[in-house]
Amino acid sequence: MSTDQIVRTFVEYFEERGHQRITGSTLLPPPGNPVLFTTSGMHPLTPYLEGRPHPLGRRLVNVQRCLRTTDLEEVGDSTHLTVFEMLGSWSLGDYGGPTSLDWGYGLLTEGFGVDPGLIHATAFGGDDQSGPDTDSLRLWQERGVPVELTVEDNWWSNGPTGPCGPDSEIFLWTGDSPPESTPTGDDRWVEVWNHVMMRHRRLPDGSLVPLPQRNIDTGLGLERLASLLQGRRSVFECDVFDPWRRLVPGLWQLDELSLRLVYDHLRSAVVVIGDGVRPANTGRGYVLRRLVRRVLTVLRRDDPSRGLGDLPDELIEHTLDHFCQGEDPEVVRRVLIEEERRFGRLLERGRQVLARPRFQGPLSEEDLHYLHDTHGLPRDLVLNLRETV
Ligand code: SER
């Protein structure tokens, strides 16, 4: 099943159950939201989770692009991407958690053909502020699905304050041998779908108060599910990355881990630029800058002549099309190349400064601050240069 078919199946399944499709938003969260980028489907919907009536009603379904920088260091493993898509279903004060989980189980097993024997669930076991999620536990037991209770892993929040609640997560077994252990005990259990019972708000003093309505917010990672349904070992092998796998290895000979980083970061950079962000030293622009610089560092490690000017148009166009972004591919290319030039100049300056006698021994914290504040050389760039000069 291709990712397009997965999206269609998901959306139609929820439409048949009274949900209205809403268009996903860009990666830029609405004003007032504490996050830099949209990291989950709930951000554009926060006012409606907090009680404002949504013009399309109480049941919604969507596909939302998300960006998670917390996962940047994990990119390259089989399940993490910087930019990914989340399929979401929403009950804004309408049906409850067991209905959502039951539909989720039905869609996975009947709609997507997942073997019920390869499913494991987790649910909130309770803490001193909120009791155990017995509704989810009962639903899973009735369906014969094994369920593990945890505390921190099954509580979802958007930050230290704001809407939050217990969640129940659905994991699929990815091992070659029959399923064993539990999601916290064996990472061959991969989380694909989170159902959050978003019914509390955390106040700055840490206490919980009920939201005006009891909501359900679910998020299913599209590329993860696609790779599992397509029988692939990693998200980089699902159909979303077909053009990248076809074009990049012939262009730049890199090991598999480096290729994955290049696919992920360049694709993410294109989407971020497509949403109007430009490289900068702070905020969103700095995330973009880091993505591009990490790619350049990998590309130039073995061959300094490699550059983004060689990036095939098709990859930029395919990405902008996939995310329905109207940005001109030539503009995206120019932003990437300009950033590459700036990085080149910075590296040159870095090499010259680091050649000074003062920096020949081990670098102190004070040196690193000086290099950053006076010469604009970020810590990771300095440390990288020290390994190579
Ligand atoms: N907000 C939840 C998550 O991001 C479910 O969509 O996992």
**Checking DSSP bridges between strand 119-124 and strand 208-221, what pairing results, if any?**
unpaired
**Range with the lowest mean pLDDT among 24-33, 48-57, 69-78, 260-269?**
69-78
pLDDT in the model for residue 71:
66
pLDDT in the model for residue 380:
77
Mutate to test the pocket of ligand 1, among 81, 122, 167, 199 (most ligand atoms within 8 A of CB): 167
Alpha carbon of 96 to those of 20, 58, 196, 337: distances in Å?
17, 12, 10, 50
Residue 52 clears pLDDT 90, i.e. is over it? yes
Q: How far apart are the first and last CA of the chain?
A: 48
pLDDT in the model for residue 388:
63
pLDDT in the model for residue 124:
98
pLDDT in the model for residue 359:
92
Alpha carbon of 170 to those of 56, 114, 154, 190, 197: distances in Å?
28, 12, 11, 8, 14
Q: Mean pLDDT across the stretch 107-118? A: 98
Name which residue sits closest to atom 2 of ligand 1, judged by CA. 219
Q: E strands along 92-161, which residues? A: 119-124, 147-150, 155-157
Q: Does ligand 1 lie within 6 Å of residue 183's CB atom? A: no
pLDDT in the model for residue 237:
96
Q: Mean pLDDT across the stretch 338-360? A: 93
Cα–Cα distance, 203 to 196 (Å, whole number) = 19
Report which of 243, 285, 291, 282 is spatially closest to residue 264, judged by C-alpha positions: 291
For 56-84, the pLDDT digits (tens) are: 999 999 999 999 987 677 788 898 999 99
pLDDT in the model for residue 35:
83
Cα–Cα distance, 232 to 223 (Å, whole number) = 11
Give the atom of ligand 1 at the shortest distance from the alpha carbon of 219: 6
Please say whether the beta carbons of 225 and 210 come within 8 A: no
Residue 389 clears pLDDT 60, i.e. is over it? no
Cα–Cα distance, 89 to 109 (Å, whole number) = 17
Mutate to test the pocket of ligand 1, among 38, 39, 40 (most ligand atoms within 8 A of CB): 40
